[in-house]
Amino acid sequence: MGRNIKTLKAAGLALVIGLGTLSAPAVAGQLSINLNPANAEQRQMMQTGLGLYALYNGIQSGSITQSGFDNIAGLSQAGGGNLGVVHQEGNNHNGTLNQHGGNNSYGLFQFGEGTSAHVDQSGGQSGLGFVFGW
C-alpha cells in the first residue's frame, strides 16, 4: 500500500512540474495545456502516471475512447513499448497520436466542443495534452 501511495504522489508531482509548460494554441475557442518532461526523472514520473491510468482502464499499449458526436480520432504505433491514449468527451473533436520508434508514452485528452490536436513522437518521448474547447 505504501508503494502505491508513493507512486501516486510521484505521478501527481509530474503533473505539477509539467504545468510550467503551458501553451496557448492558434485555434479560437480552444485552450491547450501541454506537459512535457524536462529530464529523465520527470519523464519516468509522467510515464508512471499514464501507466496507472492505463492499468485502471485496462489499456495495454493504446486506446481511443470517445463520448459524444462527430469526433475523429486516430492512433498509430510503430515500435515496441509504446503507450498511447486518445480520450475525447464532447462533440466535434479531431485528435491524432502517431508514435514511431520505441518507448513513447502520451495521453491526449480532449473535452468540450470542437478541439483539434495532433501529436507525433519518435523514440523515447513522453507527454500529456489536455485540450478544452467551447
* Residues 6+ away with beta carbon under 8 Å from 56: none
Domain count, the chain: 1
**Which range of residues forms the domain containing residue 10?**
2-133
Secondary structure string (H, E, C) spanning 23-92? ECCCCCCEEEEEECCCCHHHHHHHHHHHHHHHHHHCCCCEEEEEECCCCEEEEEEECCCCEEEEEEEEEC
Model pLDDT, residue 17: 46
> Model pTM?
0.79
Average pLDDT over residues 36-45: 94
Residues 96-120 have pLDDT tens digits of 999 999 999 999 999 999 999 999 9
Residues 74-93 have pLDDT tens digits of 999 999 999 999 999 999 99
Cell numbers 499499449: residue: 61
Calculate Rg over the CA atoms of the chain. 14
